[in-house]
Amino acid sequence: MAYAGQTIENPVSGERITFTQTAADTGGELLAFDMTLSVDGHVPGAHVHPVQEERFEIVSGTMRFRMNGKTIVAGPGDVVTVPPGARHKFANGGDEPVQVRVEVRPAMKMEDLLVNTVELATEGKTNARACRSPSTWRCSCSSTSARCAPRSRPRPSSRR
**Phi (first) and psi of residue 47, to 5 degrees:** -155, 175
What pLDDT sits at residue 149? 46
pLDDT tens per residue across span 113-129: 899 889 888 888 776 65
Q: How far apart are CA 145 and CA 34, in angstroms?
A: 22
156 found inside a domain:
no
Query: What's the CATH code of the domain at 98?
Result: 2.60.120.10
Domain count, the chain: 1
Considering the chain, what percentage of its residues have pLDDT values greater than 90? 66
Q: Is 28 left (phi over 0), alpha (psi -120 to 50) or beta?
A: left
Residue 35 belongs to domain spanning? 7-108
Average pLDDT over residues 12-35: 96
145 found inside a domain:
no
Q: How far apart are CA 17 and CA 37, in angstroms?
A: 9
What pLDDT sits at residue 121? 85
143 found inside a domain:
no
pLDDT at residue 134 above 60? no
Do residues 1 and 112 lie in contact, with contact meaning Cβ atoms separated by under 8 Å? Answer: yes
17 found inside a domain:
yes
pLDDT at residue 89 above 80? yes
